[in-house]
C-alpha cells in the first residue's frame, strides 16, 4: 500500500503535501524508480538476488511474448504478489504456468525454488528431517525447502499441487490458513505459488 501512495505522489500534478519539498520529491522519484519494476502497471520491489547456483533456478534470461492473455496473467499475479496472497495458477499442460512465475521472479530479482509435487513426496521435503553425519549416532537437522523459503524470503513454486500427497496438502493448507509452519518466523518477502493442471 505504501508503494502505491509513493507512486501516486510522484506522478501527481497536484501540490506536494506540507513538509515535502521539490528536492525531496526528486529524491523519492529517483529512489522509487531504482527500487521498483512495473509488471503490467503493478509496481513490485526489486531485490538483489544472490547469484547462488541452484539446479532449480533458470540461468538464462526469460523472454515473454506479450499477448492479451499473458498480460492479464502477469498483471493478476503481480497484484497477488503485492497483496502477499498465495497464488494458484491453473491451465492445461504446457501453457506456461511455471514460465510466467519464473519471468516475474527474474524481473524482480527473487530466488525461486521449484518443487515438482507427486504422491510419493512427503512433508519432510518441505519441513526438513534429521540426517546422519560421519560420526556414528550423530544426527543433524536439515531444513526442508519450505522452511528455507519462508525463513529467507524466497519464492516457492509448487508445481502440480493437485498431484501432491495428503501429507503435503495439509502442510500447505496450514501455512495458508495460519501464516505459520511452526519452524521460526516467516519472512514478509516470502511468496507461495501453486500450479494445477
Integer-rounded Cα Rg, in Å, for the chain is 20
CA distance 46 to 108: 5
Instruction: Find the CATH number of the domain harbouring 132.
Output: 3.40.50.300
**Cell 501432491, residue?**
164
The pLDDT value recorded for residue 146 is: 93
The pLDDT value recorded for residue 98 is: 94
Q: Is 44 helix (H, G, I), strand (E, B) or coil?
A: strand
The pLDDT value recorded for residue 38 is: 87
Identify whether residues 3 and 75 lie together within a single domain: no
Identify whether residues 31 and 114 lie together within a single domain: no
Identify whether residues 87 and 158 lie together within a single domain: yes
Residues of the chain with pLDDT under 50: 1-7, 9-10, 13-14, 16, 51, 53-56
The pLDDT value recorded for residue 68 is: 92
Residue 14 lies in domain: 1-39
Identify whether residues 104 and 16 lie together within a single domain: no
In the chain, the number of structural domains is 2
**Cell 503490467, residue?**
40
- Grid cell at residue 117: 509435487
Amino acid at each position: 500500500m505504501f508503494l502505491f501512495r509513493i507512486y501516486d505522489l510522484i506522478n501527481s500534478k497536484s501540490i506536494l503535501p506540507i513538509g515535502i519539498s521539490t528536492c525531496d520529491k526528486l529524491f523519492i522519484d529517483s529512489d522509487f524508480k531504482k527500487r521498483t519494476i512495473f509488471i503490467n502497471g503493478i509496481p513490485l520491489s526489486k531485490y538483489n538476488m544472490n547469484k547462488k547456483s541452484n539446479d532449480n533456478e533458470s540461468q538464462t534470461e526469460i523472454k515473454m511474448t506479450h499477448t492479451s492473455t499473458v498480460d492479464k496473467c502477469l498483471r493478476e499475479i503481480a497484484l497477488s504478489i503485492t497483496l502477499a496472497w498465495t497464488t494458484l495458477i491453473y491451465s492445461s499442460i504446457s501453457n506456461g504456468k511455471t514460465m510466467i512465475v519464473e519471468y516475474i521472479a527474474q524481473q524482480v530479482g527473487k530466488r525461486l525454488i521449484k518443487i515438482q509435487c507427486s504422491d510419493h513426496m512427503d512433508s519432510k521435503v518441505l519441513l526438513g528431517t534429521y540426517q546422519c553425519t560421519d560420526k556414528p549416532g550423530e544426527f543433524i537437522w536439515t531444513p526442508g525447502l519450505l522452511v528455507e523459503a519462508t525463513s529467507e524470503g524466497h519464492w516457492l513454486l509448487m508445481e502440480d499441487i493437485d498431484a501432491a500427497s495428503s501429507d503435503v496438502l495439509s502442510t500447505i493448507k496450514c501455512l495458508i490458513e495460519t501464516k505459520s509452519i511452526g519452524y521460526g518466523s516467516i519472512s514478509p518477502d516470502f511468496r507461495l505459488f501453486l500450479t494445477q493442471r
